[in-house]
Amino acid sequence: MSATPIVLVSSDNRVFDHVRWHATPAQYLEAVLYGSGAIPLMLPSLGGALDLETILDRVDGVLLTGSRSNVHPSLYGVEPDVKYEPYDEARDATTLPLIRLAIARGKPLLAICRGYQELNVALGGSLHTEIQEFDGRMDHRAPISDHQDERYAIRHRIEIVPGSCIGRIMESDEIAVNSLHRQGIAELSPRLAIEATAPDGTIEAVRVADAAGFAVGVQWHPEYWVGSDNASSRLFQAFGAAVRAEAAARLPQPLAAE
């Protein structure tokens, strides 16, 4: 007996036609479905109104998506400024406690871009607000284009820590990734371990060192190329294996024969 795993997917607050929506880009939902073999379930960003314990009882993993919005600077000790906007405080109020609870309960967790930054902040780390302004850093922002394939194009290599979780998944010490971010990890949470770095030293991947199972964050966007890029596919396959194991563990166990 088996069950298709269910993955909780974070959402943003957006306004379309003067109406507030809870929204998630399609590529994340499709990557969960086709790349991990799981059912994606969107979580509305309703903060403390949500019973996260009950929600996590019913799912097998958590995917934290990227977003144009940034984690609010007050959450990691930086003064807010209009140049760091846009923010989504309703999402912050939802995802940060979700992260801490999911890790405490051993739920598989994959955090991407904004979700990766949320992971660091939720566990006590901080962020650089505009890394392209630092001497010696690459410009990690997306190219200006109306074509998404150009914006999400694979752009630079990253070096993977030998023997790391990402290294075992990729079976390599180096892969090439895309880059669409202006913020990055400043002070690393004491609960996170570095898994990969860009040539300029930017931390590109982490894992939760004390997690009971799969708990990984990446700064790039593997969801976009999950159907055609080997490294992207490998990451979602590994996440899929973790959530399938979680789903199997939640199934009622057969009674022992007398």
Q: Which two structure tokens, joined as six digits, stand for 90?
A: 């309703």
Active-site residue flag, 223: yes
The number of beta carbons lying within 10 Å of the beta carbon of residue 180 is 19
Catalytic residue among 113, 118, 181, 204: 113
Nearest to 115 by CA among 41, 185, 194, 44: 185
Active-site residue flag, 113: yes
Catalytic residue among 118, 195, 223, 246: 223
**Please, where are the H alpha helices in the chain?**
26-30, 52-57, 89-104, 114-122, 148-151, 165-170, 230-250
Nearest to 30 by CA among 67, 63, 56: 63
Active-site residue flag, 165: no
Active site residues: 113, 221, 223
